Structure 1
Amino acid sequence: MDDATFAVSLWSWAAVAAVIAVMLAVDVLSHRHHHVIELREALAWSAVWIAAGLAFGLVVWFWRGSEPAVAYYSGYLLEKALSVDNVFVFALLFGYFRVPAKYQHKVLFWGVVGALGFRLLFIFAGAELLDRLAWAGLALGAFLVWTGWRLAVRGKPDVDPDRNLAVRLFRRLAPTDPRYHDGRFTVRVDSRRKATLLVVALVAIEATDVVFAIDSVAAILAITTNTFLVWTATAFAVLGLRSLYFCLAGLLRHFGYLRYGLAVLLAFAGVKLILAETPVGKLPVWFTLAVVVLTLAVSIGWSVLAARRRRSRTGRREP
């Protein structure tokens, strides 16, 4: 029995959905005019989204107690950490399509809306599998261990959109125009409605995010199978993805060892799922939270120190 399991009414789901909808509306209205997101603005919005995510954890704490709240915070931190890998890939895709900086927020906004929808489907499907199939935990655990190993040993990720099945299918089915047309998604050319290159970039980001969603949802389900906690932890973490991108896109080279920390967390989530099917049973949620926090702290600290040493060596070699 999951310590964080509890019944959630439809009113609670509706209330959270309404809060998320209002936050998205505020965000889109605040960025209705195309402009380049500067670092100060991105930091301010990141603070807003992080504060909202942490505040909801307090709501869970006072509503259902410490155990569900710790499970929520563990899932939130794990999704937030895995989002850093998304940021790196998004930066590569924006560079590939040469998306002007002033249109990138629009693409990311609708990308996040799609990400929330896909994750909701994966959460319910994954929780149902774990509930109905006795071997699903073992299979999902093995998948996460393999994913962690792949993340640790891989080089630069291959994000060539020309080989992306969704992008190729979209270009084949929908007429497209290879321009941006002032940030519009569609434009009429020669009396024919066409999708702009901005839509193609959005399709590439959505298709890439689906792969990340499978990993991250499986990892959080290893913490708790309570769909309400998994969904809210995922949603509040993903909502800040746009601001996180504009904060970190230019700084990712300073976090070279973070992917090893993320690999450890994915593998840990896999081992946790496997152990749950053995006499060892489920690991305590507080232990999971401690592992997440410690792993992130070590990998980020390691990255910062390594970057500082590289700058120091480069400085000594300069005349």
Structure 2
Amino acid sequence: MDWSNWYVIQLNATNNMSHELLFFGGFLLFIVLMLAIDLGLFSKSNKAVSFTQAAIMSAVWVTFALLFYVVLRIWGHELHDIQDFAQLAEVTKKHLHNIRLIPDDFAASLERYRQNLALEYITGYVVEYALSVDNIFVMVLIFTSFGVPPQYYHKVLVWGIIGAIVLRFLFIFIGAALIAKFGWILYLFGFFLVYTGIMMFVHRNDEEEIDPQNHKVVKFASKYFSVYPTFVGGRFFHVENGKKYVTPLFLVLLVIEFTDLIFAVDSIPAIFAVTKDPYIVFFSNIFAILGLRSMFFLLVNIIHKFHYLKTGLSFLLVFIGAKMLLHDWLHAWGFTTSHSLIIIVSILAISVVASLLFPKQEKTNA
């Protein structure tokens, strides 16, 4: 064995991992800082978030997401510390990036890599952001069913998002490790997404209901916690006569977390259809989740107007699942991430425009 060559390989692997952790750590630091500012600005008092505040915060999060696209477009190679063509080829192969490298031109190949990486990120972001809208339908139903006062929505959503970030982190990197070890899992994800999309289309007009008393999460929590019968301001916990209780608001938070867990089962495989790089999956996922809270307050009163959105999302899931199943053939035909983004945006745009052009007829009592 050539021990000197082995040492160089191990050293390069260690340096690459250190660079990835540094890049990733910087991203997490930014997210923690933004959440701290968000909590500091909007959680000092329990007041309902206005449409103007929601619009401003939505614009801020979308702007940050777009700026991160620019960061990846210019410095994307820094994520994996790519220094030469051999490293670039290795990373491209490892994460199944759909690009053609030019062996004699490292600079041009690196440019293609950065462009594709940024495009994968923004495509994943659009997919996750779109699927998050479906989450809003359920959130509105949860808050309404549990009778949560509007001034407490923000607190529940912020803490729900913090929990979602932790859960997504675990889901994404465990999923990436499984994909790296068992490539056939991608086909399993593909079949699952196609099935989910079909079921969403079949049940797109079903009236969803939530029974607070019989919800699985409420029943489970009631077994292990003492539940206070009424809301106590914006508190999650309440102490009375020396006994500690969880409040109904805490139960709502648990239901929100459980709901996000269910949605993650759809959304994370969907982004893995766009990119196999777990860092890009995480970046796109987290930016979409961070924008979900402000988008909720922006759309809460008009979400019902987009009645064709579920239809659009069902087609979106079927397309992404089919893309995952037919990846090798599509790659051979020259199907790129740009084509995926165009189709995804078109599906969403058509569903939104159709909803506005053909408004849902209100039911009238005979």
Q: TM-score, normalised by structure 2?
A: 0.80
Give secondary structure in 1 for the equivalent of 2:276: coil
Could you tell me which residue of structure 1 aligns to residue 339 of structure 2?
A: 287
Could you tell me which residue of structure 2 aligns to residue 16 of structure 1?
A: 27
Give a deviation string over 1:125-184, Cα, whole Å, max 9, x none: 222222211321111100000111111111133544444433321111011102221111
**Among candidates 147, 161, 165, match of residue 216 of structure 2:** 165
Could you tell me which residue of structure 1 aligns to residue 115 of structure 2?
A: 66
Kindly name which structure, 1 or 2, has the bigger radius of gyration based on alpha carbons: 2
Amino acid across the alignment from 2:190: G
Amino acid across the alignment from 2:28: A
Using a 3 Å threshold, how does the CA distance of structure 1 residues 227 and 159 change in structure 2: closer, same or farther? farther
Q: What is the alpha-carbon distance in structure 1 between the residues aligned to residue 298 and residue 330 of structure 2?
A: 41
Give the fraction of aligned pairs with identical amino acids, expressed as a percent.
36
Q: What is the alpha-carbon distance in structure 2 between the residues aligned to residue 234 and residue 24 of structure 1?
A: 16
Mean CA deviation greater in 166-175 or 230-239: 166-175
Pairing 1:90–2:139 present: yes
Could you tell me which residue of structure 2 aligns to residue 38 of structure 1?
A: 50
**Among candidates 274, 278, 302, match of residue 227 of structure 1:** 278
| Deviation for aligned residue 1:36 | 0.9
Give secondary structure in 1 for the equivalent of 2:238: strand
Using a 3 Å threshold, how does the CA distance of structure 1 residues 274 and 161 change in structure 2: closer, same or farther? farther
Give secondary structure in 1 for the equivalent of 2:121: helix
Q: What is the alpha-carbon distance in structure 1 between the residues aligned to residue 285 and residue 57 of structure 2?
A: 18
Give a deviation string over 1:167-204, Cα, whole Å, max 9, x none: 32111101110222111111111210111111000001
Q: What is the alpha-carbon distance in structure 2 between the residues aligned to residue 117 and residue 43 of structure 1?
A: 26
Q: What is the alpha-carbon distance in structure 2 between the residues aligned to residue 236 and residue 293 of structure 1?
A: 18
Give a deviation string over 1:281-313, Cα, whole Å, max 9, x none: 484111111111111111110111112x859xx
Q: Answer yes or no: is the 8 Å Cα contact 2:323–2:330 preserved in 1.
A: no
Give a deviation string over 1:106-133, Cα, whole Å, max 9, x none: 0000011111111111111222222211
Any unmatched runs of 5+ in structure 2? Answer: 1-15, 77-113
Could you tell me which residue of structure 1 aligns to residue 36 of structure 2?
A: 25
Any unmatched runs of 5+ in structure 1? Answer: 1-5, 315-319
User: What stretches of structure 1 move > 6 A for 4+ residues in a row?
Assistant: none
- Equivalent residues, number: 305
Amino acid across the alignment from 1:151: M
Give a deviation string over 1:220-245, Cα, whole Å, max 9, x none: 01100111111010111100111111
Pairing 1:118–2:167 present: yes
Amino acid across the alignment from 1:26: I
Could you tell me which residue of structure 2 aligns to residue 3 of structure 1?
A: none
Mean CA deviation greater in 126-135 or 79-88: 126-135
Could you tell me which residue of structure 2 aligns to residue 317 of structure 1?
A: none
Q: What is the alpha-carbon distance in structure 2 between the residues aligned to residue 161 and residue 143 of structure 1?
A: 29
Q: What is the alpha-carbon distance in structure 2 between the residues aligned to residue 159 and residue 131 of structure 1?
A: 39
Q: Answer yes or no: is the 8 Å Cα contact 2:141–2:210 preserved in 1.
A: yes
Could you tell me which residue of structure 2 aligns to residue 192 of structure 1?
A: 243
Give a deviation string over 1:24-53, Cα, whole Å, max 9, x none: 001100112110111111111111111111
Q: What is the alpha-carbon distance in structure 2 between the residues aligned to residue 267 and residue 59 of structure 1?
A: 31
**Among candidates 149, 154, 157, match of residue 108 of structure 1:** 157
Could you tell me which residue of structure 1 aligns to residue 310 of structure 2?
A: 259
Q: What is the alpha-carbon distance in structure 1 between the residues aligned to residue 312 and residue 210 of structure 2?
A: 22
Mean CA deviation greater in 130-139 or 246-255: 130-139
Amino acid across the alignment from 1:269: I
Amino acid across the alignment from 1:62: I
Q: What is the alpha-carbon distance in structure 2 between the residues aligned to residue 69 and residue 164 of structure 1?
A: 41
Give secondary structure in 1 for the equivalent of 2:47: coil
Give secondary structure in 2 for the equivalent of 1:188: strand
Pairing 1:248–2:299 present: yes
Q: What is the alpha-carbon distance in structure 1 between the residues aligned to residue 47 and residue 183 of structure 2?
A: 51
Alignment of structure 1 residues 130-169 onto 2, 5 Å: 130-154=179-203, 155-169=206-220
Give a deviation string over 1:246-278, Cα, whole Å, max 9, x none: 1111101110001111111111111111112x4
